Structure 1
Amino acid sequence: MTSTDPIPAVAAPQPARAIRTFHPRRGRMSGRQVAALERLWPVYGLRVADAAPFDPAGLFGRRAPLVVEIGSGMGDATVEMAAADPDRDYLAVEVHTPGIANLLDLLHRRDLANVRIAEGDALDLIDLLPADSLDAVHAFFPDPWPKSRHHKRRLIQPAHVARLRSRLAVGGTLHCATDWAEYAASMRATLDADPGLTNPYDGYAPRPAHRPVTRFERRALAAGRPIADLIYRRR
């Protein structure tokens, strides 16, 4: 990466949060990914630190139901869902630079207009959104932080869920998926306990056809880790 990178290495000052739900990673990028980042970031990207005030209609050029994708990874699932769902807009939030670059390249190849990418902390972005403004929040395979001393870093915990739920419109969905059995049980207990959410499946949801199978999920299944989907609606 060079001094002309579209995503600056030094972030603007932000209010301090004692505990982050993610561990930032840079990683190596292919030449194709570097080119996509340099060419396409100004078209599709924004930094969460620079997003206030946040105007989804201005970002997408239209008013449509909005889905926030927390942790879009390499972008494969985001692209497939957005391509099959053109009447909704998808805002993918990611901190992994190679994943952002790969998603930019996929968007360009598929010529999708209903996806944008935010670089930064998804919870910071959620705080910028108006209450009751989201059609759905997706959190597919967030870091399980398996060690007990790291559980405080998990995305799905009561305080974070309350923030996510507050941005959902009535009837909007919070859809989580994990391949970590202990985290799945913890997610279910946390989501069941939230007074503003209801579970239409009375337990784990059947695997929805609209969630694509990613390479990560295939590896988890090959390793014998079953996948749990949890889909809750705002009351």
Structure 2
Amino acid sequence: MIREKFSKLLDGQSKQLKTLGIYTGVVLLIFSIIIPFMGKGLFVKETAKKNESPLTSVMGQANSMKEERSTVTGIVLQESQDKPKTMPAPPKAKEEAEVKAPVQTQTREVNAVSNIKDITWPVKGEVIQEVGLSYSKTFSDYRYHNGIDIKVKRGTEAGAALEGKIGKVETTKSEGLKVSIDHGDGWQSVYAHLEDVFVKTGDVVKKGQSIGIVGQPGLNEVMEGPHLHYSLLKDGKVVNPRDYLPKGEP
């Protein structure tokens, strides 16, 4: 009796379990079919969103920057048009004067022709050697002498015999330090055996103006002792200064 009731109870529960299992299986089957499609749709939407959003963002930023640049350019152009034009300041008067008037050195020009009759002695002293063939104490023989030697103390100042322009200031072993002066019209005078000079090439000197001091003579006349070797030339040829200098000893 009891066994039959229990058996009926088990059969009823078994039917209910079967029914529940069938419903559960159907529901799971439906979800297994629907969920993949739902997930695929979400995945596609997310992917599209990821793919599209960076490009859209960049394009948006570019458009924004373009608009800002256009706005700034417009402001700058407007300001440049509204701003009055100014001319650059003219150069200072001092600078302009320096450009237009460069510094120039003024030199007094020598007369075109100096009057040879105005010639004077360059130093005062005894004439110990004349122009022409004469005996040389240095070489102990006779040889041509192209000027006159005027004996003076060492340190004596020598003056220009005539007004003129300094041609050369040079030093040689044979004549020591010497100065040449151009007097114009082919006249030239030379002063040798100097120790120091007070002039330079291009200077204009007056008659009697000091041009240097006498020192020890060069090798050609070293045995003569301190003296001024004075030469006078006309058109490059040696002439005798005695023919033009004041007569007598200086």
**TM bucket normalised to smaller:** under 0.3
Give the TM-score of the pair, scaled to structure 1.
0.21
Q: Quick check: which has more Rg, 1 or 2?
A: 2
Structure possessing the higher relative contact order (Cα contacts under 8 Å, 6 or more residues apart): 1
Which one has a larger percent strand, Structure 1 or Structure 2?
A: 2
